[in-house]
A = this chain, B = another copy of it.
Amino acid sequence: MSKVTLKEMAKVLNMSVSTVSKALNDSHEISDATKEIVKKFAKERNYQPNPLAKYLKLGRSNSIGVILPSIGNPFHSQIIESLHNYASLHNFNLIIMQSKDSEEIETKAIQTLLNQGIDGIIISPAHETSNIALLKKIHESTCPVIIFDRINYDLDTYKIGVNNFQSGLDATAELIKVGRRRIIILCGKNIGVTKERLAGYEEALKKNDIELIQEYIVYCNYNNSFEDFDNDLKEKIAVLMKDSSIAPNAIFGTTDTLTTRVLGILADLKIQVPNELAVIGFANTEIANSLNPALSTIRQPTAEIAALSVEMLIKLITNKKNRSQIDFQEFKLDSSIQLRKSTDVDS
């Protein structure tokens, strides 16, 4: 906390508080001579304006609340860093919260943010309908809310994510291209975006005259514990692999979590990647490259998503126009496919 205040400086300098304040803020009302004296003195005393007082006066906290499923997930760190960078650029700071894919925890996170007096919220919702009424209310009356990443969410605001249908199609098409036609797709329960990715998957199959096999669509429950999640997934894969009539030869993981987890599981099951099972997944991190075999991924434009999210939110924060009048857009950015060893099949 800063110690020296305007008042104290004013006293020592024999000026009024307002003069000192204006001098420091480079007001045109103040003479250059005075400005110089004040600024020099302020530097000497290492004056730091009290941001709380400032923001109280200005009616804003200059902080943005961010809610995403998990902070600890290594794959989220890049989006956090990007959001952080863009927020800093605009002199906003970030208060990050996590929902752990649970609506209740998400509710609390939202409450905490409101209690902190944030100026706006950027959220990747726990699931398609989580806290929708609450967020609607907040967006209408309290502060703007923006949806990112998990953009299948029924709130009338800016939404920033990728074209999930196309991404799913691309990933599947790539697997087909390297000769794999029996493709498992891993989906998250209640995660809207995986639905669209699944639709892309189905479209790719259709285009290539591949029959859709229901058993290949594997749903995973994010609310399970690590252990349950892994065991559940492991068993599902093991069962499929055992039945040679339908044994798959590729896996498409529709989220980063799903994809990394499945890699560990395949290693445990002693299944060779990519020879037995080619793998492609969603991931935003350089770590995909350090995996062995390096993981082929659908890469989301993290920086652009973060930049747009912050930009649109700040636009809404600074915009005094009634938010119900705004024509909100949905930004579906292009993802790119990054081929590495995990799909590098001997042809």
A residues at B contact (CB < 8 Å): 1-3, 48-53, 55-56, 59-61, 70-78, 80-82, 84, 88, 93-96, 98, 112, 114-119, 141-143, 226, 260-261, 263-264, 266-267, 273, 285-287, 289-294, 341
Contact = CB atoms under 8 A, between A and B. Distances in A.
B1 A59 contact: yes
A141 B260 CA distance: 47
A261 B289 CA distance: 9
Most B-side CB within 10 Å, residue of A50, A52, A117: A52
Given A77-B77, A290-B264, A61 B52 contact: yes
B294 A267 contact: yes
Nearest to A55: B52
Nearest to A95: B93
Nearest to A294: B267
Contacts of A341: 267
Contact of A261 (B61, B118, B290): B290
B119 A1 contact: yes
Contact of A56 (B52, B81, B261, B293): B52
27 contacts: A1-B59, A1-B60, A1-B61, A1-B142, A1-B143, A3-B141, A48-B115, A50-B56, A50-B117, A51-B61, A52-B61, A70-B81, A71-B80, A72-B78, A72-B81, A74-B74, A93-B116, A94-B96, A96-B96, A260-B290, A263-B291, A264-B289, A264-B291, A264-B294, A267-B294, A267-B341, A273-B292
B260 A287 contact: yes
Given A1-B119, A116-B93, A71 B84 contact: yes
B52 A117 contact: yes
B60 A71 contact: no
B117 A1 contact: yes
A339 to B, nearest CB: 15
Contact of A117 (B51, B60, B263, B289): B51
Given A1-B119, A48-B117, 15 more contacts: A2-B114, A3-B141, A3-B142, A51-B61, A51-B115, A56-B56, A72-B81, A73-B77, A74-B74, A74-B287, A77-B80, A96-B96, A264-B292, A290-B291, A292-B292
